[in-house]
Amino acid sequence: MKAVIFDLDGVLITTDDCHYEAWKQMADEEGIYFDRAINERLRGVSRMD
């Protein structure tokens, strides 16, 4: 075997809650309102957008 390709996020583990908690903590520290509904709207959006 020369290589192995696997999809970690959403297949082996789910990191959605970890990402939400990290963004929520950052928003709280900056005084920005952030909840799960906002998080859902931003999922999949490029950080450049």
Q: How many domains does the chain have?
A: 1
For 7, which DSSP code? -
Would the pLDDT of 47 be above 80? no
Residue range(s) defining the domain that contains residue 34: 1-49
H or E stretch at 48 = none
Query: Residue 24 and residue 20: Cα distance in Å, rounded?
Result: 6
Say which amino acid occupies 19. Answer: H
Among candidate residues 9, 16, 28, 35, the one labeled active-site is: 9
pLDDT digits (tens, 9 = 90+) for 6-18: 887 778 888 889 9
- Among 35, 37, 42, 44, which residue's Cα sits nearest to residue 9? 44
Whether residue 9 lies in the annotated active site: yes
**How far is the CA of 43 from the CAs of 2, 20, 21, in angstroms?**
34, 10, 14
Quote the pTM value: 0.68
Per-residue pLDDT reduced to its tens digit, 33-42: 999 999 999 8
